Structure 1
Amino acid sequence: MNNKIYMLTIAAMAVGLVSCKKDFLNKLPISQGTVGNYYKTASDAEGGLVGAYQQAFLNDQYWVWDYTTNGDARADNCYAGGDNPDNFGVDNFTTTPLNGNITRDWQGPYQDIYAANTVIDKVPLIPAASFTGNRQQEIISEAKFIRALSYFQLVTSYGAVPLVTSTIAGKFQPTPSRTAVTEVYAQIEKDLLDGEGVLPTTFPSVGHVTKGAVQALLAKVYAQEGKYQQCLDYCNKVISSGTYTLVPDFKTLFDGTKNTTESIFEIQHSSGSGFTTYNVSLYLPAVFGTYSFKKFNLPTNDLIALYKSQNDNIRLGSSIYTATVGADGLAAGDPIPAPYSNLSPTVPFLYKWKTNISQFGGGTDNTILLRLADIILLKAEALNQLNQTPAAIPLVNQIRARVQLAGITATSKADVGLAILNERRMELAFEGQRWNDLLRYGSDYTINLMKSQVDPFGKALNYGINQNRLLFPVPLNEIQLDGNLTQNPGY
């Protein structure tokens, strides 16, 4: 069995999920070699949780860059750009079971799940009297959020996946079979519901999973399952909690400001800690101080046209940087990535992360996983799906008003549904949401939309998408190492 799918090696180094307030994760994470005899004190439990956070949100490359590739380049928001054939495969639906991205995005979440399972298994063995207040159960619930989020990534990408919920011999099956999608979702729901009853609304320091984060993720999970009444219920819990408010100026969400009133959960980055995000150097040209190489995930003409058709200059300017070829350092400093060329008058670049771009990997912008605007628009979607369309319209207009746009004119359920889909596209571009949004809207719609895509010069891209290609293949090496795994249809 390939143990790296399910086992974790965490480096014994200071963790990088740092806070702009108190650094709650400034503890030494647990290494694999000491897991068996480490969990004896409350401090040990905190160290194990630190290790789980570090593994899930810093070591796992999904939240470094793949969430944008899988959520936006696979959809109609970005061209793959860059020079990586594995990214091209995700973008144009030619992935194979040998694709390196696909393998990484299978193995990474299982490493995250193992780290979370270790905490969930070991922390209950420490005497409850060792902990202050309800901290023992909070630690377990934070780990369950990590596990739930990881399984949400897996089930939406691969469909049925092995459900591994323990590291204990006898409970852990080293060569598991794939578990039905409904059972995986049931476990996700259970983990999050367990945490909802335990976690506080706020912690003294940022970076923790809170009750609001659990409720927001539950809303998104229920929506993806098509359980719109439950989705609506949990959107209402987040919105009515009074904990979160929209920031008045959209631009401040992506100008280096961290942990705003709109943020529900975000990954913490800091140059002082040495732990940073790669996003800026992957996406922005050399004129910003990044290295010169072909940049990834270039915004599509279609997305830019949508912004312009709505006169949405605020979100366009905050999300996309357009550089002129022959100026802005492009001709001398950056090779122009496909599908653009040196014949292009301008090249758009992804611009939602832009802080401290002095070197490769040097960006210090936090990665926002959950924020209030997402939940407000998700509530509008749920209301519309539940035939409460008139109640959905003001929520869409609330988001539009922030960027100085007039309200939508749509009134029918179908037209409002499309307006919500477009509003989510403009609001959440490059935040990894678009692909799941399309799938909720309908597989036939998604397939036809992607078949209609063109390059920046109007040439048809002829994506080979079909029903089978809505899921990734199971990595071939995992099937070879685990004889109980089966392949998705069409691969």
Structure 2
Amino acid sequence: MKGIYFLKIATIGIGLTLASCSDLLDVQPRASIDSVTALTTEDAINAAVNGIYDRLQSTFLYGRDLIAIPEALADNGRATNKSGRLNAEYQNQVGAHFAHWQTSYFAINQANLVLDALPKIDKMSQANKDFVEAQALFIRGLLYFELMRAYTYEPSVELTQVSKGGVPIIKSGVIDATQIKLEGRASINEVYDFIYSDLTGAIAKFTSSGKTATAAFANKTATQALFSRVALYRGDWTNSAKYATDAMATGSIGRFQTTANYVASWRSANQPESIFEIQYQTNENIGVNTSLQTTYTTLVAPGNRTTTGGFGDLVPTRALLDLFDSEKDASGATIPDVRRQMYELGTAGRGTAEIECTKFLGRSGQVNLDNIPVIRVSEMYLNRAEALAKSGNVAGALADLNVIRNRAGLPTVTDLTGASLINEILKQRRLELAFEGHRFFDLKRLGSDIVKAAPVQSITFSDFRILANIPVREIQANANLKQNAGY
């Protein structure tokens, strides 16, 4: 992605499986430096940061799993079994869940090594140091949040009788086995406090860095947007609304699209609504087995049913499609929702043709190569609407809700309050962010059951399968690390 060097530093994952030199700080090699000099120069520090962005491309993270699996585990996606992939997740089988524990902690360790090394770099301007520190703090906060979403309960819905707490907090980097500390799981609130601290620190450093914001890198707007999301999950309505407002105030990135431009925004190389986006170079194509394009659709271009590309492993459920058609006018006719245009009939090249999600159709015609929006500005309107509604600010919540509704082509609503207002916000959140990796996490943070159509069984929020299992090798290596209940 953005790599320059191949950093040969052996290290350990949190649970403390020894990783090879190529596991920790690998980026696309163009030159090589050894571990003695690896993080002692500005070029090496920049290369190390680039390496963290590269790791975010992993299939276990944003390359596929954090985007597709939340749709499969919840009620938005239905597995077609055309390749067998994501079928177990769709059925909520035991152990078929997120598996980014080790990858996330490898990346966290990379961020920690950068943060540890920065004060020791002499020939580097303070502005550049601030920019690097801000990026490392943002990414570390982001990854701790992704670990919390998958492996722990949220504070307001914690099932205390079975909860094992949060995740281990690792604050310093390690480069060999002698530096490892076998940490246990911090409390849920301790981890959220740590994430808050990272994001607050990043916002301060981005302010002084003077760097131009771009969605391809961590930036101040993205940090504010992430803070809004984290606070929403924590039930901190004040900060969720505040940071959503801050993120939307800049206007330099994350440009909200009109109804007329909505479909085109998903056909451009870079989604113009992206506040933070994982970007791929041509030689980083994930391929026909696990890219988001092959996961979601058999199409290679809109409307082209003569050429088959991917497998279309995960397609929208009937319930989701019906929801797009649920808005009626006074005569009872369906009011068209522009977002429904992102779902169309695929090819029969892999079996029965299905209606498929086409949000990811190959950047600039390059099959299986898509940049991945992690945070879009649309989410900020929805975050703020929910936070305001739950704080009793009906007028503010309705205003944000109607921004999303009107862009979709739906009429303004004015008479919703209380539970009816919140339910409509959550409905629009489901429709707006479908197949972008939110649905399972939204149900989980709300303490909601997952209702699925027969023959697949629904699961209640109290079911242990709501949480992912920590890898067995991590548990075996660390007596202080407690496995989630049921595994």
- The one-letter amino acid paired with 2:127 is N
Which amino acid in 2 is paired with 1:306? Answer: L
Alpha carbons 2:277, 2:374 under 8 Å: kept: yes
Structure 2 SS opposite 1:61: coil
1:106 aligns with 2:101: yes
**Equivalent pair of 1:400/1:407 in contact (CA under 8 Å):** yes
Shift of residue 287, structure 1, vs aligned partner: 6.3
Name the structure 2 match of 1:334: 350
Aligned residues: 437
Quote the RMSD (CA, aligned, Å): 2.8
SS at match of 2:270: coil
| Structure 1 residues 75-131: Cα deviation after superposition (integer angstroms, max 9, x where no partner) | 1110233467773343233223xx4x54x321121121122112111222111xx22
* Further displaced range: 109-118 or 379-388: 109-118
Verify: 1:317 aligned to 2:341, yes or no: yes
* Partner residue, 2:368: 363
Question: Which of the numbers 313, 316, 321 marks the counterpart of 1:304?
Answer: 321
Residue 279 (1) aligns with residue 292 (2):
yes
Partner of 2:50 in structure 1? 50
CA deviation map 1:267-309 (0-9, x unaligned): 11232x544572112322166555464x322111000000011
Shift of 1:242: 3.5
1:269 paired residue number: 280
Residue 3 of structure 1 corresponds to: 18
What's the CA shift for 1:421?
0.3
The alignment partner of 1:176 has SS state of coil
**1:30 & 1:227 partners in 2: Cα distance?**
45
Is contact 2:77-2:317 (8 Å) kept? yes
Most deviating of 113-122 and 308-317: 308-317
The amino acid across from 2:402 in the alignment is: N
The residue aligned with 1:208 is 217
Q: Following the alignment from structure 1 to structure 2, what is the Cα–Cα distance between the partners of residues 321 and 115?
A: 41
- The equivalent of 1:198 in structure 2 is 205
Matched, 1:258 2:270: yes
Give the 3 Å change call, closer, same or farther, for CA 50–489 of structure 1 in structure 2. Answer: same
Q: TM-score, normalised by structure 2?
A: 0.82
Distance 1:124 1:220, change over 3 A: same
The answer for the alignment partner of 2:37 in structure 1 is 37
Unaligned runs of 5+ in 1: 15-27, 337-345
Partner-residue secondary structure (3-state), 1:38: coil
Query: What CA distance in whole angstroms lies between the structure 1 residues aligned with 2:300 and 2:269?
Result: 22
Return the alpha-carbon distance in structure 1 between the equivalents of residues 345 and 46 of structure 2.
Answer: 45
Distance 1:240 1:29 in 2: 41
- Give the aligned residue type for 2:344: Y
Query: Which residues in structure 2 correspond to 1:85-484 (within 5 Å)?
Result: 87-96=86-95, 99=96, 102=98, 104-127=99-122, 130-159=123-152, 160-168=166-174, 173-200=180-207, 203=212, 207-243=216-252, 244-248=254-258, 249-258=261-270, 260=272, 262-271=273-282, 273-275=283-285, 278-285=291-298, 289-291=307-309, 293=311, 295-310=312-327, 311-318=335-342, 320-323=343-346, 328=347, 330=348, 333-336=349-352, 347-355=354-362, 362-408=367-413, 410-440=415-445, 442-443=446-447, 446-447=448-449, 450-451=450-451, 453-454=452-453, 459-467=454-462, 468-484=464-480
Q: CA deviation at 1:235?
A: 1.2
Question: CA separation of 1:29/1:192 partners in 2, compared to 1, >3 Å: closer, same or farther?
Answer: farther
Aligned partners of 1:256 and 1:364 also within 8 Å: no
Q: What stretches of structure 2 of length at least 5 have no aligned partner?
A: 1-15, 153-165, 302-306, 328-334
C-alpha distance in structure 2 between counterparts of 1:145 and 1:313, whole Å: 35
